[in-house]
Amino acid sequence: MTHTPHQSAHIIDGVALSHQLRQDVTQRVQALKAKGVTPGLAVILVGENPASQVYVRNKVKGCVDCGFHSVLEKYDADMSEADLLARIEALNHDPAIHGILVQLPVPKHIDANKVIEAISPLKDVDGFHIASAGALMTGMPGFWPCTPYGCMKMLESIGFDLRGKHAVVIGRSNIVGKPMALMLLQKNATVTICHSATPDLKAMTLQADVIVAAVGKRNVLTADMVKPGAVVLDVGMNRDDAGKLCGDVDFAGVSQVASYITPVPGGVGPMTITMLLVNTLEAAERTLAS
Ligand code: NAP
């Protein structure tokens, strides 16, 4: 890929790509319904976290728009861990439900790991279960976590061949950074994972053909840290001084150096929900195949 510095990067539009992918999902849902199966997603929200309320609403809306069966279960913040685990167990056995999602974070008295591990791996459409993580690591079929999966679809959408490229992932969480690195590795990139103990982040990112920023801090990546022509995916979700949603990347500066860049909002965010729909659809399709 050639790129002249100081020209504006191409924007990878997560809204447009999501729209395209959701049209395909909708068609596949129709085909599945014709065979008597309606994909079903159960979303569980415990407590009143305002950001979580927005996320679950968008997830349920995405389901409804694509023709899924969707159930939103809201519980008070004082719901006991045992009750939540019992509810998950019931959904594990509900044939109308193919995907189960418990919106994180859960209240402090509930062990999030126990909750994640209670979900049947066959219905783990968030891809957070140890079985899903193991499947990703070993290249077995399973469910990929939605956010990094969405990032891979964005790279695919621009025809970016990762073979032999150097990818730098900033962040090593179980839901974004680590699975992102494994997906890039699976596509034959050479992968570097950076985190809070990385002494010289810039020295790493300057070598990168692809950078994925998944930190949760504004301006973690600035123009001087990016090799001209690199592709930059911004997973971060932060607020600027005016309270506006922004990513981890200094968009104005980096877009003068990168060849492609994802905006915030309108980038990785919409793709995350889209990949949740794809995973749920696949969970339902697998019930027919098995
Ligand atoms: P997280 O669990 O807090 O992980 C953040 C990672 O960033 C950690 O690995 C941390 O390193 C690393 N880090 C912190 N400061 C750093 C620095 N100065 N330099 C390099 N690395 C640094 O967060 P997460 O759940 O992965 O989420 C990351 C961001 O993505 C958040 O803004 C979140 O809101 C956003 N997000 C967006 C979506 C979406 O749909 N768009 C989905 C999920 C998350 P240590 O491991 O050493 O602490």
The structure tokens listed for 62 are 């995405």
Query: Annotated active-site positions, please?
Result: 59, 103, 126
pTM attached to this predicted model: 0.96
Residue 63, token pair as written in the block: 């389901």
Report the nearest-CA residue for atom 8 of ligand 1. 171
DSSP state of 106: P
CATH 3.40.50.10860 domain residues, the chain: 37-120
pLDDT in tens, the chain (290 residues): 555 555 699 999 999 999 999 999 999 999 999 999 999 999 999 999 999 999 999 999 999 999 999 999 999 999 999 999 999 999 999 999 999 999 999 999 999 999 999 999 999 999 999 999 999 999 999 999 999 999 999 999 999 999 999 999 999 999 999 999 999 999 999 999 999 999 999 999 999 999 999 999 999 999 999 999 999 999 999 999 999 999 999 999 999 999 999 999 999 999 999 999 999 999 999 999 87
- 58, 173, 248, 273, best to mutate for ligand 1 pocket (most atoms within 8 Å of CB): 173
Our answer on whether the CB atom of 18 is closer than 6 Å to any ligand 1 atom is no
The whole-angstrom separation of Cα 219 and Cα 2 is 26
Which residues belong to CATH 3.40.50.720 in the chain? 145-269
Tell me, using a 6 A CB cutoff, whether residue 47 lines ligand 1. Answer: no
CATH of span 145-269: 3.40.50.720
Q: Which fold has domain 37-120?
A: Rossmann fold (3.40.50)
250 to each of 18, 89, 223, 239, how far by Cα in Å?
Answer: 24, 44, 7, 13
Q: Is 192 in the pocket of ligand 1 (CB under 6 A)?
A: no
Distance CA 147, CA 127 (A): 10
Question: In whole angstroms, what is the distance from residue 241 CA to residue 185 CA?
Answer: 36
Label the pairing between strands 238-239 and 245-246: antiparallel
Residue nearest to atom 19 of ligand 1 (CA): 196
Token readout for 101 is 């999602």
The CB of 52 under 6 Å from ligand 1? The reply is: no
Paired with 46 in beta bridges are: 75
Q: How many CB atoms lie within 10 A of CB 224?
A: 12
The residues, any chain, with a CB within 8 Å of residue 101's CB and separated by 6 or more, are 41, 42, 43, 44, 59, 125, 126, 276
